[in-house]
Amino acid sequence: MTGNNTESIQKRDNQFLHPWEDIKHLGQNRRTVIAEGDGIYIRDSDGNQLLDGPAGMWCVNIGHRRQEMADAIAEQTMALSYVSPWSLTSSPAAELAEKLATLSPGDLNHVFYTTGGSTAVDSALRFVMFRNNVLGQPKKKHIISRNNAYHGSTFLAASASGKTRDKNFLDFNTELFHHISDPNMMAKPGSISENEYCAIKAQELEDKIKEIGSDKVAAFIAEPILASGGVIMAPQGYHAACLAVCRKHDVLYISDEVVTAFGRLGHFFASEAVFDVVPDIITCAKGITSGYLPLGAFLVSDKLLQSIETEDPNAVFSNGFTYSGHPVACAAALKNIEIMERESILENAREMAPYFQQKLATLLDIPIVADVRGIGLMACVECDINVKKDAHADVLKMDYAIGDRIDKHCQTLGLLVRPIINMCVMSPPLIINRHQIDELVEKLGKGIEMAMEDVKSEGLWQDPSDS
């Protein structure tokens, strides 16, 4: 494609209102146009190759341009492109439900299909409320979530989300949704142990349940790792401690695995394998098709379904989507899982994870890098131009948005970054190898140094070693 083409796509693209559209840039946006993908790389419309650092949006787990995926999608399209999920079904939807039941922990043996992560969370929350109506507990509807959580963009999912910046211009249900602090290890006071910190956080959940009343709290929802909140790492044992609190107070535990399921932490589901919890409900999306087609789901335990059946066998969960169990999306998910199993992609993620984290940790040598954290193949490099003492500290905010600058520099170096304010989130396709991890870290390091030089030359930051 020519530069002209790029420009014309960028111009026309201004009629596409993108997620988190910033109104002040309306009509002025010049987004990078991505034209192709292959393995862990993508290529923009001017032919520049970029390593796909965020794997799209934490989703292209098996990598781009898989012929087998294209074939499976084409075959299913030609066999049956759509069927209503109300009174009919299709073989891929049925087969995928059976497969997910075998991969999920405990007795989470039933699957409700949705169109993505937000609708998975929304449907899970509606299911919990539905169940309590059936059980004759209509007041037990309150949901507890955490600050900095991201659960999606539908009304209930957004109400469960806890990123304050996202709360400025929209409406949310504030009556039923409550937020407690996140379990950020970076905020742990130095004077207490990790165990003590964990106990404090679990206690906060228990206190919140007691404050609202356990007869009113329906569920606690938590991402295993707060992903879009900045890869926030909880203290060891946090989820198990929260689950114990939930069990004690008859509160359901929803594990939002939209990011962590399908290999990001080296397992199909991370809840039990990594965090030792068998939740009542798991939500998933993204990696379920490796982003080839939109699909989401929530998995629910037999126990919960039985409790509804026992109480009212005539109850109807009046919730669902035209595209619930879409046959082509389900065929893509089945092929995706088959590829993951056949190519031992989860094993690769587990094997590469320590190397990925160690290599990224070397970036701590760069003066503006304040923290590097992560688990599996998800990580966050947090920069801070304030913490290192600069000449203009008084006019700078802690969260100076250096992430965008780093991303821009990295793009010129051939690396795509997911910038979140002052953080760079990295979650590459799970097929990445050591050599490619070296490439990713080297380019990220250079990009951060280039951004550091910018802020230095603009007088926004001063290298402490220069003074």
Q: Which helix (H) or strand (E) holds 122?
A: helix 117-134
Q: Measured from the CB atom, is 152 or 428 closer to ligand PLP? A: 152
Cβ neighbours, 10 Å, residue 111: 24
Q: Does 116 bind ligand PLP (CB under 6 A)?
A: yes
Ranked by CB distance to ligand PLP, the top (closest) residue is 117
**Cβ(241)–Cβ(39) below 8 Å:** no
Part in contact with ligand PLP (CB under 6 A); list of ranges 69-77, 146-154, 263-271, 303-311: 146-154
Q: Among residues 6, 61, 118, 159, which is the contact residue for ligand PLP, using CB under 6 A?
A: 118
Q: Which of 198, 209, 259, 345 binds ligand PLP (CB under 6 A)?
A: 259
Comparing C-alpha atoms, which of 249, 251, 302, 255 is closest to residue 278? 255
Q: Check: CB of residue 329 under 8 Å from CB of residue 317.
A: no
Which residues have C-beta within 8 Å of that of residue 385, sequence separation ≥ 6? 368, 396, 400, 402, 452, 455, 460, 461
- List the one residue from 45, 123, 228, 436 that touches ligand PLP (CB under 6 A): 228
Site for ligand PLP in 315-374 (CB under 6 A): none
The DSSP letter of residue 25 is: G
Cα–Cα distance between 105 and 271 in angstroms, integer? 8
Closest CB to ligand PLP among residues 265, 455: 265
Span near ligand PLP by CB under 6 A; candidates 135-143, 150-158, 271-279, 445-453: 150-158
Does the footprint of ligand PLP cover residue 239 (CB under 6 A)?
no
- Of the candidates 96, 261, 285, 452, which one interacts with ligand PLP according to CB under 6 A? 285
SS3 315: coil
Q: Count of residues binding ligand PLP (CB under 6 A)?
A: 15
Q: Are strands 418-420 and 423-426 parallel, antiparallel or unpaired?
A: antiparallel
Does 223 interact with ligand PLP (rule: CB under 6 A)? yes
Pick the piece of the chain touching ligand PLP (CB under 6 A) from 6-14, 111-119, 175-183, 357-365. 111-119
The burial of 186, by beta-carbon neighbours within 10 Å (0-12 exposed, 13-18 middle, 19 or more buried), is given as exposed
Strand-pair partners of 282: 255, 299
Binding of residue 275 to ligand PLP (CB under 6 A):
no
Site for ligand PLP contains 63 (CB under 6 A):
no
Q: Which of 122/390 has CB closer to ligand PLP?
A: 122
Distances (CA, A) of 396 to 339, 400, 422: 48, 7, 12
Interaction of residue 403 with ligand PLP, rule CB under 6 A: no
Binding part of the chain for ligand PLP, among 125-133, 252-260, 301-309, 407-415 by CB under 6 A, reads: 252-260
Side chain identity at 306, as an amino acid letter? Q
Residues that bind ligand PLP (CB under 6 A): 57, 116-118, 121, 150-152, 223, 227-228, 256, 258-259, 285
